[in-house]
Structure 1
């Protein structure tokens, strides 16, 4: 079945079956495809502006350069579809299932994904600028080189997703759950993590420039070699997180709780720990240059062999902190308390 240049605006396709249909340059403005089965259809350069594709089943469809501006995909199933260079500007996906779909270079600018499921999907080099993901599930998804500039993730669940070289500049992760997700080499730009739960996620070599972690919970996440420049971590809870060899430049820890976090070999330059609670954190071999630790509470922190250059401890409570063979160069301890009295 071929629909090269057909115009099927406002048509209703009910439970039609399209098998291996080719849609070429067809135009489906305002068309309704409820329950349609599109099997191995090829959409070429077809246009589906304002089309409604509720419950449609796309099987192994190929989307080529198709345009789905303002299209609505409710309960749609995309199986093993290939999105090629398709454009889904402002499209709405509610409860859509993307199965093992391959997103290629598709563009989803300002698209809205509510309750969408991306299990095992490969997002390739897709672009999701300003996209909104609410309650989306990405379990086992591979985000490759996908770009999420200004995207918003609310209550999203990332399970065992792999983010590879994904770029998440300015993305917002409110209440997101990262489970066992892997973000190696990912770039988070000015992302906002709000009340995110980072679980056992792995962020090796990830870059967090200007990122805001608000009330984020770091659980047992791993940030080896990660870079935090101008990051804001006020009120964050670090629990058992691991930051081996991580670099923190101008990072602000505000009233964060470092719990049992491990910062071995971490480097803190111009970092601010005002009112931070270092609890039982392990900072052995860490390097603090120009760090400000005013009013910080060290309690049972372990700082053996740490190096403090020009650090300021004004009003800090050092209590039972263990400094082992630490080195202090030009440090200032104005009004600091070295006892638990």
Structure 2
């Protein structure tokens, strides 16, 4: 609900990818026109929806609606597949760059479909060096031979996915059909918690340094909280910090001395005339910060 950290950096990369998707879609439509299969840009945009950068699936649906193909699978096999005559590349960044950014912004990075790589060992080794956390090992039809060993070799968490894309057809696995052991989820949460806690500290420190509406918006950027809209950054910030701590932190995190120092910094920045009293537990300090704000208003 809170985060990510370094929003501007993440937004910049996502904007470049988004612009690249628009250019890629237009290039594919030009190739389809050359193949005597014209599709209007407005048609694809309508399928994608307002503000959505069109992808191959949207173009495939347009091909079906225009009657050029019978179904989505045929659209990919005949025109839009990786080796298809209408395929076009986007402006995707290098995988190492993406993994490094995910690590810097407090995310958990995982490699999907490693069996599609021509030299998986070398690529996985490079991505591990960039900060990769896990990789896909399990599919709907079970474990893929050889990749469990690769995950163990490079100390990566073994994950899985159904690879559902909504293309239709009996050969596509449905959502959630991959079977993962409960221990996999536990290992994921254990590994991810330290990553998320570190990002949370960065986010709180950023807001403590500058309790502005912009930084408050960054804290809620990918969350679903709307009740803070229209209030002052300081008032919002106090309650958002409370929410961040209660939703992101384990009991061990709450008693963490370093995290308590972050809260003290938050208090001293929001209320320069006050100081962080000697109380045990970050949540006690947080409650004091809330009470201090209420008393000052």
TM-score class normalised by the smaller sequence: under 0.3
Question: Over alpha carbons, which structure has the higher Rg?
Answer: 1
> Quick one: higher RCO (CA 8 Å, sep 6+), 1 or 2?
2
Calculate the TM-score normalised by the size of structure 2: 0.24
Calculate the TM-score normalised by the size of structure 1: 0.22
- Which one has the bigger helix percentage? 2
